[in-house]
Amino acid sequence: MLAALPGARAVGGLVRDALAGLQLADVDVAAPWPPETIAERLREAGLRVFETGLAHGTVTAVLDHQPVEVTALRQDIATDGRHAEVAWTTDWRIDAARRDFTINAMSLDAEGRLWDYFGGREDLAARVVRFVGDPATRLSEDFLRALRFFRFHARYGGTVPDAAAVAAIAAAVPGLARLSAERVWSEIKRLLDAPDPTDALALMAATGVLGAVLPEAALVAGLDRLRRLIAASPAPDPLLRLAALVGEMPPRGLGALAGRMRMSGDERGRLSRLCGPRPEARPAPGLNDDALRRMLALLGRDDATAELLLAEAEDGRDRAADRARAAELPVPVFPLLGQDVLDLGVPEGPRIGRLYNAVRGWWFAGGCLADKDACLARLRDEVLVG
C-alpha cells in the first residue's frame, strides 16, 4: 500500500502492535493530502477505491482483496467532548498531536523509518499508557478517551498506571454522561476483549468510571467472578465476561442495561440467557452424562458451556471435566415431529401438542437417550392411554 502511495505512512495501532510484536489487526494508513487527492492517487495506482468516509477524511482502498483505510492528516478545529470538527493538514506532527496516547501516535514510512513525536516507543517498552499532551485537556476534547485509556492499559499497560492520567480521568467522570451509548458500549466490548481486563476494570472502579458507565458491574464480587472465569477459560468472550461481571440479574435490570447500551438483539438475547433469571440453580460440578445431555438438549453446546463457566465463576469449583465432556457429547435432538403424532391418526387439535410434549418429557427424563423407534413406541402407548 505504501508503495502505491509514496509519501503515505502506516499509523496508529499498526505501528504500535508491530513494535510490540503483536499480531496486526487492521492496516491504517495516513497521507498528507486532502481525501479527494488520496482517492485520485490510489486510483492512478490502479486500486479500487470506496469513498465511504470522505467527510471524516477516510477512503477505503482494496489491496489483495483486503480493505485498507487511508485517512488524510487531520487537525482539530473545534471539540465539544463528544465530536470534533476537523481540517486537513500536511503536518504529520499535528496529526500525531490529536491522537489520544503516545503509543497510538507513531507512524512508519515506506523506508521503515519510525516517526515518534511524543515518546511512544519508550512508553510502549515501559508499559505506560500516556496521553499526548495534558490529560485533562485531552479528556475535555473527547471524554471517550477515559474509556480508551482502560482499554489500552489492559493490553499495553504494566502494573503502575500513569498517575497524571488516572487523576485526570477521575476528575473527568461527570463528562462521561455526555457520551453516546454506542461509543461507550463499543469501547467496553473492546476492553472486555483484552487478554485480561480485570486489573484495568479494578482501576476503572477505583476512579469512579465503572460506576458511571456500568454501575451493574461495580461490585467486588463481579471482579472476583471475572477473575475465576478467565482462569477457567482465557479466550476472550466479551459478553460472557460481562455476564460474569454483573452476575444474575432480574429482567428489568437486564432490560435497562441492554437498553442503555443500545445492545443489538443478539447481544440482548444472549445476555439474558447468560444471566437472566433461571428455573434451576447453576449446575454443581461432577454432572453425570444424563444431566449433561439434558443441559445440551436444553441450551445447545455454546450456552451449556457458558453455563458451566459461569457456575465455576460463581462458586470457584472446578468444572473443567464437565466442560470437556460437554464439548464431546453429541447435542441430543428430540427425534419426533408433530407430524409423527398426526400420522398415528390423532386429529388436529390441542391433543397433538399434549402427546408430543408428554413423549418429549419422557425422553428428556431418560437422559435424552431414546431413539426414534423408542419414542414412537412410547407415543403409541400415550395415544392408547391418553
104 binds ligand ATP (CB under 6 A): yes
Which residues, 8 to 27, sit near Mg ion by CB under 5 A? 13
Helix (H, G, I), strand (E, B) or coil at 26: coil
12 binds ligand ATP (CB under 6 A): yes
Nearer to ligand ATP, 238 or 276 (CB): 238
Q: In the chain, helix, strand, coil percent, each to 5?
A: 55, 10, 30
Please, what is the minimum distance in Å from the beta carbon of residue 300 to ligand ATP? 30
Q: Which three cell numbers stand for residue 31?
A: 497521507
φ, ψ of residue 101 to 5 degrees: the values are -120, 155
144, interface contact from ligand ATP, Mg ion, none, CB < 5-8 Å by kind = ligand ATP
Each residue 186-205 as x (binds ligand ATP by CB under 6 A) or -, in order, gives: ----x---------------
- Cα distances from 364 to residues 332, 359, 374, in angstroms, run 10, 8, 13
Stretch that binds ligand ATP, among 139-147, 200-208, 271-279, 355-363 (CB under 6 A): 139-147
Please, what is the minimum distance in Å from the beta carbon of residue 155 to ligand ATP? 8
Cα(241)–Cα(88) distance, rounded to whole angstroms?
A: 40
Among 69, 95, 123, 142, binds ligand ATP (CB under 6 A): 142
Q: What is the CA radius of gyration of the chain?
A: 27
Ramachandran region, residue 281 (left: φ > 0; alpha: ψ -120 to 50; beta: rest): beta
- Of 268, 213, 276, nearest in space to 248 by CA: 276
Each residue 91-110 as x (binds Mg ion by CB under 5 A) or -, in order, gives: --------------------
Please, what is the minimum distance in Å from the beta carbon of residue 365 to ligand ATP? 49
145, interface contact from ligand ATP, Mg ion, none, CB < 5-8 Å by kind = ligand ATP
SS3 string, 141-177, reads HECHHHHHHHHHHHHHCCCCCCHHHHHHHHHCHHHHH
Among 9, 41, 74, 99, binds ligand ATP (CB under 6 A): 99
242 binds ligand ATP (CB under 6 A): no
Nearer to Mg ion, 9 or 270 (CB): 9
The counts of H helices and E strands in the chain are 19, 9
Number of Cβ atoms within 10 Å of the Cβ of 163: 9
Each residue 28-67 as x (binds ligand ATP by CB under 6 A) or -, in order, gives: x---------------------------------------
Q: Which three cell numbers stand for residue 153?
A: 492499559
Among 1, 4, 8, 13, binds ligand ATP (CB under 6 A): 13
Q: Assess contact for 188 and 213: CB atoms under 8 A.
A: yes
Which residues, 307 to 346, sit near ligand ATP by CB under 6 A? none
Q: Which residues bind ligand ATP (CB under 6 A)?
A: 12-13, 25, 28, 99-100, 104-105, 142, 144-145, 148, 190
Site residues (CB under 5 A) for Mg ion? 13
